[in-house]
Every structure is written in structure tokens, then in C-alpha cells.
Amino acid sequence: MPSRPKKTRRALSVTSLIDVIFLLLLFFMLSSTFTKFSEVALMTSGQGDSVAPSDRTVMFLRLNGDQMSLNGQPLAPDTLGSALQTPDQKPPSVLISLTSATSAQHLTDALVILRALPDLSLTVLDPT
């Protein structure tokens, strides 16, 4: 009976494995996004206002999910800044009311817009 030739095992090459790992690493690095988180500064109550309440124009902003209304009138988020400009040049005082459909992101988006307005007084009402 003829003997079979012995099979010799080749050494495993890890070069292709390293290439695959490098390509995966490159793919995940290039496909991921790195967002910059920013803070929205809020002041707590109890410090008193520098402007008397009678010297302010009081406005009521209601946030209901991604919809908002100012003094009962529906409002698009991109027009919020211009809608708060008062003709009598009094600094606005804005009361913000939240519904259960309003997420933290919706509130933050509104606060970022409002933060750009000078001499604005904000009060976020308790949703309960």
C-alpha cells in the first residue's frame, strides 16, 4: 500500500487579519460623528430682577412637543426671536409653559434661541 505524503501545516499569516482590523477601524472612525455638546446657562430664582416687572413686556410661550405658541398664537421656531421684539422697546419677560409632549431637546432648542436676545428675563413654569 502506497504511503500518503504527509501534509505539512503552514504557519498562519496574520497579515490579512491586521489589514481587516485596520480597515474596520478606519471605517468606524470616518463614519462616526463627534458632536460638541454645549451648555445652556440657567439662573435660579430668588435673586431679584434688575428691571422692575412693570418695565417689562410679559409674554407667554407654550411649548407642546415641536410646536410652540406665543401669547396663544402659533409660531414657527425660526421666527421666535423676531416675534419677541417689542414695539415699545421694553425688555421682554417670557413665561415658558411646557406640556408632557415637550422633550428636553425641544426646551433646549427654544432656550438657545432665547439666549441670543439681550435683556431677556426667562421663567420656566413647573409642568405639574
Partners of 82 in the β-ladder:
none
Q: Which amino acid makes up residue 106?
A: H
CB neighbours (10 Å) of residue 28?
A: 9
The answer to whether the CB of 49 falls within 8 A of the CB of 121 is yes
Does the predicted model carry a pTM greater than 0.75? no
pLDDT tens for 81-127 read 778 776 767 777 888 888 888 888 888 888 888 887 777 888 888 76
**Quick check: 64 and 96 in contact, CB under 8 A?**
no
Could you tell me which residues are beta bridge partners of residue 94? 59, 122
Per-residue pLDDT tens digits for 21-71: 999 999 988 888 777 666 666 655 555 555 455 677 788 889 888 888 888
CATH assignment of 54-124, given 1.10.40, 3.30.420, 3.80.10, 1.10.3210?
Answer: 3.30.420
Q: How far is CA 118 from CA 24, 92, 122, in A?
A: 49, 9, 11
Tell me what pLDDT residue 36 has.
67
pLDDT reported for residue 90: 75
